[in-house]
Amino acid sequence: MEILGIDIGGSGIKGAPVDVDTGSLTADRFRIPTPEPSLPDAVAAVVAEIAQHFSWHGPIGCTFPAVVKNGVTLSAANVDRAWLGADAQNLFARATGCPLLVINDADAAGIAEMKFGAGKDRQGVVLLLTLGTGIGSALFVDGRLVPNTEFGHMVLPSGKEVESWAADRIRTEKDLSWKKWAKRLNDVLANFEFLFSPDLFILGGGVSKSHDKFMPLLKVRTPVVPARLLNEAGIVGAALATSDLVPQ
C-alpha cells in the first residue's frame, strides 16, 4: 500500500509516496521552500502543490513541528504563532481534497525508526531525539509511542532549556567544536538518562550524518546510535501513522 508522506520543516516542505510495507519511497522526493512567513494558508498551499506534483488522490500523512492533538496544532515554538490552535488537519485536507492525518514531526521520525531503522525490534524505553533548529523528541515504551513529549523544552538542572543549550543550530551559531558541542549534548542525555532510564537513545536530524565526529565523545551509560532513515524519516513515519487509518 502506498501513502503520500509530507514533512513540514522550518526551511523546506518535502514529500514522496511511501510503500508502507517496506518503508521505501516509490518516487523521488519533491521539495519546496517553506513560505516566509509560514502562515497556515501559505503552508497549506504548498502541501497541496506537493500532492498535485504526484497527481495524488489517496490518503496523506503530514508532519508538523508542534504539539498536535486531534489534528490541531497546540504549540508554536519554531513556527509562526498563527498556528496556535489551528486545525491543521482540516486545513490541509481541504487544500488537497484528500483524507489526511497530521502528526508531530519528531513522533513521525520515531515511528519510522522503530519500524524500519535503528529502533527496529527494540523493546523497553527508547528515546529518539532530532537535533536541528530545535530538539524534537519521541518516546517509545515496548514499541508504543508516548506522543507529543516535547523534551526539547525541558529545563536542565543548570537552568538552560535543552534545545537552547544543545540543538545543532546552537553548534553552528556559536561555532562550537565537536568536542564542546558533544559535552553540551552529553549534559542533555545524562539528564534524560536520570529521568527516564532509557534502554536506547537514537539521535536523528541532519547532524546524525556526522555521528562519527561526536558520538564517540558521549559518556552516558545508555547505548547511543544514529538514526538510519535520515531525511526520509519524517516522510516515512507520516505515511506509516496514516496507514493505521486506512481500511485493510
Above 70 in pLDDT, residue 196?
yes
Q: Same fold for the domain at 2-105+232-243 and the one at 118-227?
A: yes
pLDDT score of 9:
86
What percent of the chain shows pLDDT beyond 70? Answer: 98
Instruction: Count CB atoms within 10 A of the CB of residue 194.
Output: 10
pLDDT score of 247:
56
Instruction: Assign 245 a pLDDT band (cuts: 50, 70, 90).
Output: low
For 21-25, 72-76, 174-178, which range has the lowest pLDDT when averaged over its residues? 72-76
Long-range CB pairs of 187-193, under 8 A, 24+ apart, other chains included: 187/156, 187/158, 188/129, 188/135, 188/156, 188/162, 189/218, 189/220, 189/222, 189/224, 190/219, 190/220, 191/154, 191/156, 191/157, 191/162, 192/127, 192/151, 193/220, 193/221, 193/222
DSSP state string for 203-247: EESGGGGGHHHHGGG---SS-EEE-SSGGGHHHHHHHHHHHTTS-
pLDDT score of 214:
98
Domain boundaries 2-105+232-243, CATH class: alpha beta
Angle at 56 between CA 51 and CA 59, to 5 degrees: 95
Q: What average pLDDT does this structure show over 206-229?
A: 95
Q: What average pLDDT does this structure show over 22-46?
A: 96
pLDDT in tens, 118-153: 999 999 999 999 999 889 999 999 999 999 999 999
Above 80 in pLDDT, residue 210?
yes
Pairwise CA distance, residues 9 & 62, whole Å: 11
pLDDT score of 246:
63
Pairwise CA distance, residues 93 & 21, whole Å: 24
Pairwise CA distance, residues 223 & 221, whole Å: 6
Above 70 in pLDDT, residue 71?
yes
pLDDT score of 230:
85
Q: Where along the chain do its domains lie?
A: 2-105+232-243, 118-227
How high does pLDDT run on average in the chain?
A: 95
For domain 118-227, give its CATH number from 2.30.30.90, 3.30.420.40, 3.40.630.10, 3.40.50.300: 3.30.420.40
Above 60 in pLDDT, residue 206?
yes
The predicted model scores a pTM of: 0.93
